[in-house]
Amino acid sequence: MIRMTTTEKLLEAAKDIWAEYNTHPFVKGIGDGSLDKEKFKYYMIQDYLYLIDYTRVFAAGAAKAKDMETMRLFAGYTHAILDGEMDIHKAYMERLGIIPEEAEAARPALDNVSYTSYMLRIAYEEGQAEVAAAILSCALSYEVIAKKLIEKNPEAPNHPFYGEWVRGYASDSYHDENVILISLMDRLTEGYSKKQLEHLKEIFTLCSRYEKAFWDMAWEMRR
A 10 A CB-CB count for 34 gives 10
220 a catalytic residue: no
Q: Give 84's DSSP letter.
A: I
A 10 A CB-CB count for 130 gives 22
Helices 194-220 and 6-13 cross at an angle (nearest 10°) of 50
**Residues 32, 92, 58, 52, Cα dihedral to 10°:** -120
d(CA 112, CA 115): 5
Rounded alpha-carbon distances, angstroms, from residue 48 to 134, 172, 206, 207: 18, 22, 21, 18
Q: Which of 85, 130, 177, 211 is catalytic?
A: 211
Q: Which residues contact 211 (CB under 8 A, 6 or more apart)?
A: 17, 21, 115, 137, 138, 141
Q: Which of 85, 130, 138, 177 is catalytic?
A: 138
Angle subtended at Cα 96 by Cα 93 and Cα 98, rounded to the nearest 5 degrees: 55
Catalytic residues: 138, 211
